[in-house]
Structure 1
């Protein structure tokens, strides 16, 4: 039986791919203006970014345990192997909660084939992991083969991103108030990456064009090969800059296999409008 792939809305995969590969997506919670929403259910990214530009300070919470348990129970009851790929445990408690729910389900269905996998990634970074896992599931790859692929992605996936306004990182405690003020005045944009499932600053540059160029340089430096891989770009309501980055990648590398999506509410609530992120494997997966 084909393995069911489950993810949550932090993976920022477009609906078209979710439908095509029968991926189940669970909603993270977004709290804004004293209202609570289910991400991509009753709030969309553009709406959230409008609120943020008007001064709202949204918060997020993990996928409700009841939804996780209900989804895993349904798979177990139907004898359906399932892998739930979660947002990094370094920035969300969803992974830990999902493991607890999995164990509860296994008490009732001890023979169920269920796994919870910590992506140690965010946004389209683990969206690419989910996408690859779902493709392999549809191709008939085994449960263990899919987990092996996910482990490769976890070990070799790179995240490089920048934000348009340091104020949002300030709110999240990622930069000091002085750094945010100086960055805004000097039009300094940080380049950040993810390591061991957590966000870290890399460099500070002046001007968007320099930042995009440096992001592509870093990708070329870190990747052993940019052939035969899918490159991901996600953006927080900035299609123009996302297109500029895509065009630059094609010009510099020749790779046209680029997936572009909008950053959803769960990640955008912390990074803010105008965020641009780049994802790729530093070592391509060997054909099995």
Structure 2
């Protein structure tokens, strides 16, 4: 990445470490508290730790980075020679992270282009990658921010959870709250819509829900040239076979990535999550 432009995201993008290193992307961590102990996502707590805490019925909460954390990242980028910064983050409907980034941007020593992806996980990650590729191609910061916005606008995220209980506890359930009354009788499929978690369909069994998740991803991909991510939390035995089926069924597939979500998203969805991100190029 050119030294005069810097790229920042947050820890909920769940980009592979080698991708972060290759593009020189700075990651600002969100926080996860288990009981009274606070950890930095991606540095001090693993998805496995969160899954075990949730199964043990421990209190798990999350919080955004404070503006000073962003300010420090922006100062460091400027000190390293950046004349502008692109900062791409989790949906403002799900977290105050983008608000903290904007507050810090107002005091930064160089211009900062803050992008609300309206997404999370690798759905956000693909927007970060679009910005990285634009910068590598010699585009200006405003163009890189626009590339991120374009890619995230095309990207869809669909997911299955074993229970809505964790989303309910975290207050992230949105309109999907309407499913709670029948939660014991259904396995909900949800999606990201307008930056929020919204209900998509109700299915009677886990196996049917996963089959339907596969169908939705295939329909969304159609004949387009797409990248796909299969996310999970403590459900690799479900994620890997789903990924292989998608590999066979999506004709325009370019890259397919299977990865566990991190501690922050894990805290809100619980063990058993299975998600598919479809991102047209």
The two structures have a TM-score, normalised by structure 2, of: 0.89
Larger RCO: 1 or 2 (CA < 8 Å, sep 6+): 1
Query: Following the alignment from structure 2 to structure 1, what is the Cα–Cα distance between the partners of residues 178 and 119?
Result: 27
The alignment yields a C-alpha RMSD, in angstroms, of 2.1
Q: C-alpha distance in 1, partners of 2:265/2:73?
A: 23
Q: 2:193 maps to what in 1?
A: 195
How many angstroms does 1:176 deviate by? Answer: 5.5
Which string of whole-angstrom CA distances, capped at 9 and with x for unpartnered residues, describes residues 199-221 of structure 1?
10011112233222222322333
What CA distance in whole angstroms lies between the structure 2 residues aligned with 1:256 and 1:214? 22
CA contact (8 A) 2:123 2:152 kept: no
Is this contact kept in 2: 1:238–1:274, CA < 8 A?
yes
Q: Is the 8 A contact 1:231 1:258 kept in 2?
A: yes
Structure 1 residues 1-288: aligned runs within 5 Å: 1-2=2-3, 3-80=5-82, 81-105=84-108, 109=109, 112-173=110-171, 174=173, 179=180, 182-184=182-184, 186=185, 188-223=186-221, 225-227=223-225, 229-254=226-251, 255=253, 257-281=255-279, 284-285=280-281
Label 1:196 to 1:91 Cα distance change in 2 as closer, same or farther (>3 A).
Answer: same
Query: Cα 1:136–1:260, aligned 2, differ >3 Å: closer, same or farther?
Result: farther
C-alpha separation between the residues in 2 aligned to 1:70 and 1:42?
19
Q: Provide the rounded CA distance (Å) in 2 between the counterparts of 1:134 and 1:208.
A: 37
Counterparts of 1:276 and 1:41 in 2: how far apart (Å)?
Answer: 23
Tell whether the 8 Å contact from 2:232 to 2:261 is kept in structure 1 after alignment: yes
What displacement does 1:16 show? 2.0
Q: Structure 1 residues 49 and 148, CA, compared in 2 at 3 Å: closer, same or farther?
A: same
Q: Deviations over 1:116-137 (max 9, x none)?
A: 1111101111012112322333
What CA distance in whole angstroms lies between the structure 2 residues aligned with 1:77 and 1:20?
20
Task: Give TM-score, length-normalised by structure 1.
Answer: 0.87
- The answer to whether the 8 Å contact 1:233/1:261 transfers is yes
Q: Deviations over 1:214-267 (max 9, x none)?
A: 22322333345332x211121112111111211121222143621111100111
| Distance verdict in 2 for CA 1:197–1:178, change over 3 Å | closer
CA contact (8 A) 2:113 2:142 kept: no
Give yes or no for contact 1:237–1:263 (8 Å, CA) kept in 2. no
1:259-284 Cα offsets, whole Å, 9 max, x none, are: 11110011111111111111113xx3
Tell me the SS of whatever aligns to 1:159: strand
Query: Does structure 1 retain, via aligned residues, the 8 Å contact 2:162–2:272?
Result: yes
After superposition, what is the alpha-carbon deviation per residue over 1:3-55, rounded to whole angstroms, capped at 9, x for unaligned?
32111111111222212221111110111121111111111111111111111
The alpha-carbon deviation at position 74 of structure 1 amounts to: 2.0
User: Partner of 1:279: helix, strand, or coil?
Assistant: strand
